[in-house]
Amino acid sequence: MNSKEEILKKLAADGMPEYPCPEFGFTPQHFDRPAEIFAQRLEAAGGRMTMLQPGETLDEAVRRCYPEARTIASNLPGLACATVDPDRVEDPRRLVDIDLGVVAGSFGVAENGAVWIPQTIRHKALYFGATALLIVIPHDAIVDTMHQAVARPEVDDFGFGCFMSGPSKTADIEQALVFGAHGPMSVTVLLR
Protein backbone atom coordinates (compact mmCIF):
# COMPACT_ATOMS: atom_id res chain seq x y z
CA MET A 1 0.00 0.00 0.00
CA ASN A 2 1.41 3.40 -0.97
CA SER A 3 1.23 6.52 1.22
CA LYS A 4 -1.79 7.96 -0.63
CA GLU A 5 -3.80 4.79 -0.05
CA GLU A 6 -2.79 4.76 3.62
CA ILE A 7 -3.97 8.33 4.11
CA LEU A 8 -7.29 7.63 2.38
CA LYS A 9 -7.79 4.46 4.46
CA LYS A 10 -7.17 6.41 7.71
CA LEU A 11 -9.58 9.13 6.65
CA ALA A 12 -12.26 6.57 5.80
CA ALA A 13 -11.79 4.82 9.16
CA ASP A 14 -12.03 8.11 11.06
CA GLY A 15 -15.81 7.95 10.92
CA MET A 16 -16.53 11.45 9.65
CA PRO A 17 -20.31 11.93 9.45
CA GLU A 18 -21.83 12.38 6.02
CA TYR A 19 -23.64 15.60 5.34
CA PRO A 20 -26.22 15.99 2.56
CA CYS A 21 -25.55 18.55 -0.13
CA PRO A 22 -27.34 21.83 0.57
CA GLU A 23 -30.32 22.84 -1.51
CA PHE A 24 -29.44 25.39 -4.15
CA GLY A 25 -32.80 27.08 -4.24
CA PHE A 26 -32.65 30.88 -4.28
CA THR A 27 -34.71 33.79 -5.46
CA PRO A 28 -33.04 35.64 -8.31
CA GLN A 29 -32.74 39.40 -8.14
CA HIS A 30 -35.50 41.44 -9.70
CA PHE A 31 -35.31 45.14 -10.44
CA ASP A 32 -38.39 47.33 -10.80
CA ARG A 33 -36.53 49.67 -13.16
CA PRO A 34 -33.91 47.49 -14.88
CA ALA A 35 -32.79 50.21 -17.34
CA GLU A 36 -31.95 52.52 -14.43
CA ILE A 37 -29.94 49.81 -12.65
CA PHE A 38 -28.26 48.87 -15.94
CA ALA A 39 -27.17 52.50 -16.44
CA GLN A 40 -25.76 52.69 -12.90
CA ARG A 41 -23.82 49.43 -13.20
CA LEU A 42 -22.52 50.31 -16.67
CA GLU A 43 -21.31 53.66 -15.35
CA ALA A 44 -19.61 51.89 -12.43
CA ALA A 45 -17.77 49.80 -15.05
CA GLY A 46 -16.61 52.95 -16.88
CA GLY A 47 -19.25 53.03 -19.61
CA ARG A 48 -22.33 55.10 -20.16
CA MET A 49 -25.88 54.61 -21.35
CA THR A 50 -28.00 56.96 -23.40
CA MET A 51 -31.36 56.72 -25.09
CA LEU A 52 -32.48 57.59 -28.58
CA GLN A 53 -34.43 60.82 -28.12
CA PRO A 54 -37.95 61.19 -29.61
CA GLY A 55 -37.63 62.06 -33.30
CA GLU A 56 -33.84 61.57 -33.23
CA THR A 57 -32.23 59.48 -35.97
CA LEU A 58 -29.46 56.99 -35.31
CA ASP A 59 -27.03 59.29 -37.16
CA GLU A 60 -27.94 62.19 -34.89
CA ALA A 61 -27.49 60.02 -31.79
CA VAL A 62 -24.06 58.88 -32.98
CA ARG A 63 -23.00 62.50 -33.58
CA ARG A 64 -24.43 63.55 -30.20
CA CYS A 65 -22.46 60.84 -28.38
CA TYR A 66 -19.23 61.06 -30.41
CA PRO A 67 -19.06 64.44 -32.20
CA GLU A 68 -15.27 64.19 -32.74
CA ALA A 69 -15.32 60.76 -34.46
CA ARG A 70 -13.96 60.94 -38.00
CA THR A 71 -13.73 57.26 -38.95
CA ILE A 72 -16.90 55.39 -38.07
CA ALA A 73 -17.19 51.68 -38.87
CA SER A 74 -20.63 50.10 -38.94
CA ASN A 75 -22.85 47.82 -40.96
CA LEU A 76 -26.08 48.88 -39.24
CA PRO A 77 -28.82 49.62 -41.76
CA GLY A 78 -29.75 53.27 -41.99
CA LEU A 79 -26.53 54.64 -40.48
CA ALA A 80 -25.42 57.17 -43.10
CA CYS A 81 -22.54 58.66 -41.09
CA ALA A 82 -20.51 55.42 -41.26
CA THR A 83 -17.31 55.95 -43.22
CA VAL A 84 -16.17 52.30 -43.20
CA ASP A 85 -18.22 49.18 -43.89
CA PRO A 86 -16.52 46.53 -41.71
CA ASP A 87 -17.95 43.75 -43.88
CA ARG A 88 -15.96 45.00 -46.88
CA VAL A 89 -12.64 45.18 -45.04
CA GLU A 90 -10.36 42.28 -46.01
CA ASP A 91 -7.65 42.75 -43.38
CA PRO A 92 -9.04 43.01 -39.81
CA ARG A 93 -6.03 45.11 -38.79
CA ARG A 94 -7.62 47.98 -40.73
CA LEU A 95 -10.37 48.05 -38.08
CA VAL A 96 -7.91 48.68 -35.25
CA ASP A 97 -7.74 52.34 -34.19
CA ILE A 98 -10.97 53.23 -35.97
CA ASP A 99 -12.37 56.23 -34.06
CA LEU A 100 -15.78 54.65 -33.49
CA GLY A 101 -17.37 51.28 -34.04
CA VAL A 102 -21.18 51.26 -34.04
CA VAL A 103 -22.43 47.71 -33.51
CA ALA A 104 -25.62 45.87 -32.64
CA GLY A 105 -26.06 44.25 -29.26
CA SER A 106 -28.83 41.82 -28.39
CA PHE A 107 -29.64 42.75 -24.79
CA GLY A 108 -28.25 44.22 -21.59
CA VAL A 109 -27.96 42.78 -18.07
CA ALA A 110 -29.02 45.06 -15.21
CA GLU A 111 -27.04 43.38 -12.41
CA ASN A 112 -23.64 44.08 -14.00
CA GLY A 113 -24.12 46.51 -16.90
CA ALA A 114 -23.02 43.93 -19.48
CA VAL A 115 -24.29 43.73 -23.06
CA TRP A 116 -24.43 40.56 -25.17
CA ILE A 117 -22.74 41.27 -28.50
CA PRO A 118 -23.12 38.56 -31.15
CA GLN A 119 -20.76 38.74 -34.10
CA THR A 120 -22.80 40.52 -36.75
CA ILE A 121 -19.81 41.84 -38.66
CA ARG A 122 -17.17 40.04 -40.68
CA HIS A 123 -14.21 40.64 -38.33
CA LYS A 124 -14.62 40.78 -34.56
CA ALA A 125 -11.50 42.97 -34.40
CA LEU A 126 -13.77 46.02 -34.49
CA TYR A 127 -15.25 45.11 -31.08
CA PHE A 128 -11.84 45.19 -29.43
CA GLY A 129 -9.72 47.43 -31.65
CA ALA A 130 -11.85 50.55 -32.10
CA THR A 131 -10.98 53.54 -29.94
CA ALA A 132 -14.64 53.89 -28.95
CA LEU A 133 -17.60 51.54 -29.24
CA LEU A 134 -21.28 52.44 -29.43
CA ILE A 135 -23.52 49.41 -28.88
CA VAL A 136 -27.14 49.72 -29.99
CA ILE A 137 -29.73 47.56 -28.22
CA PRO A 138 -33.54 47.63 -28.16
CA HIS A 139 -34.88 49.79 -25.32
CA ASP A 140 -36.88 46.92 -23.86
CA ALA A 141 -34.07 44.33 -24.04
CA ILE A 142 -32.66 44.48 -20.52
CA VAL A 143 -32.84 41.42 -18.29
CA ASP A 144 -32.30 41.47 -14.54
CA THR A 145 -29.53 38.89 -14.03
CA MET A 146 -26.91 36.77 -15.76
CA HIS A 147 -29.05 33.73 -14.91
CA GLN A 148 -31.72 35.14 -17.22
CA ALA A 149 -29.13 36.24 -19.76
CA VAL A 150 -27.56 32.83 -20.31
CA ALA A 151 -31.02 31.29 -20.73
CA ARG A 152 -31.83 33.55 -23.69
CA PRO A 153 -31.81 31.98 -27.15
CA GLU A 154 -29.27 34.51 -28.48
CA VAL A 155 -26.64 33.05 -26.15
CA ASP A 156 -27.46 29.47 -27.08
CA ASP A 157 -26.73 29.45 -30.81
CA PHE A 158 -23.91 31.64 -32.09
CA GLY A 159 -20.54 31.49 -33.82
CA PHE A 160 -18.93 34.17 -31.65
CA GLY A 161 -20.35 36.44 -29.01
CA CYS A 162 -19.27 38.11 -25.81
CA PHE A 163 -20.55 40.05 -22.84
CA MET A 164 -19.02 43.50 -22.62
CA SER A 165 -19.37 45.80 -19.65
CA GLY A 166 -17.74 49.16 -20.19
CA PRO A 167 -14.38 49.93 -21.79
CA SER A 168 -11.31 47.77 -21.36
CA LYS A 169 -9.49 48.44 -18.13
CA THR A 170 -6.56 47.28 -16.10
CA ALA A 171 -5.16 48.15 -12.69
CA ASP A 172 -1.81 47.60 -11.07
CA ILE A 173 -0.78 46.81 -7.53
CA GLU A 174 -0.77 50.53 -6.70
CA GLN A 175 -4.50 50.58 -7.58
CA ALA A 176 -4.06 52.87 -10.58
CA LEU A 177 -6.98 52.11 -12.91
CA VAL A 178 -6.34 52.67 -16.63
CA PHE A 179 -9.11 52.63 -19.24
CA GLY A 180 -8.48 51.53 -22.82
CA ALA A 181 -5.37 49.51 -22.03
CA HIS A 182 -6.20 46.74 -24.50
CA GLY A 183 -9.47 47.63 -26.15
CA PRO A 184 -11.96 50.47 -26.52
CA MET A 185 -11.28 53.50 -24.33
CA SER A 186 -14.96 54.41 -24.33
CA VAL A 187 -18.14 52.30 -24.47
CA THR A 188 -21.61 53.78 -24.83
CA VAL A 189 -24.80 51.73 -24.93
CA LEU A 190 -27.62 53.33 -26.89
CA LEU A 191 -31.14 52.15 -26.10
CA ARG A 192 -33.13 52.37 -29.31
pLDDT in tens, 113-162: 999 999 999 999 999 999 999 999 999 999 999 999 999 888 887 788 99
Give percent of the chain above pLDDT 90. Answer: 67
Torsion-angle region of 105 (φ positive above 0: left; ψ -120 to 50: alpha; else: beta): beta
Tens digit of each residue's pLDDT (9 = 90 or more) over 45-81: 999 999 999 999 999 999 999 999 999 999 999 899 9
pLDDT category, 34, cuts 50, 70, 90? very high
What pLDDT, on a 0 to 100 scale, did the predictor assign at position 10? 84
CATH fold for domain 32-191: Rossmann fold (3.40.50)
Confidence check: pLDDT of 187 > 80:
yes
Confidence check: pLDDT of 186 > 90:
yes
Q: Where are the domains of the chain?
A: 32-191
Q: Kindly tell me the sign of the dihedral angle through the C-alpha atoms of 95, 100, 102, 107.
A: positive
Average pLDDT of the chain to the nearest whole number:
91
pLDDT category, 23, cuts 50, 70, 90? confident
Measure the CA–CA gap between 101 and 35, rounded to whole angstroms: 23
With beta carbons less than 8 A apart as the criterion, state whether 42 and 113 touch: yes
Report which of residues 58 and 2 the model is more confident about: 58
Report which of residues 17 and 53 the model is more confident about: 53
pTM of the model: 0.83
What pLDDT, on a 0 to 100 scale, did the predictor assign at position 166? 87
Tell me how far CA of residue 89 lies from CA of 43, 94, 122, 149, in angstroms. 32, 7, 8, 31
Confidence check: pLDDT of 101 > 90:
yes
What pLDDT, on a 0 to 100 scale, did the predictor assign at position 66? 97
Arithmetic mean of pLDDT, 27-35: 91
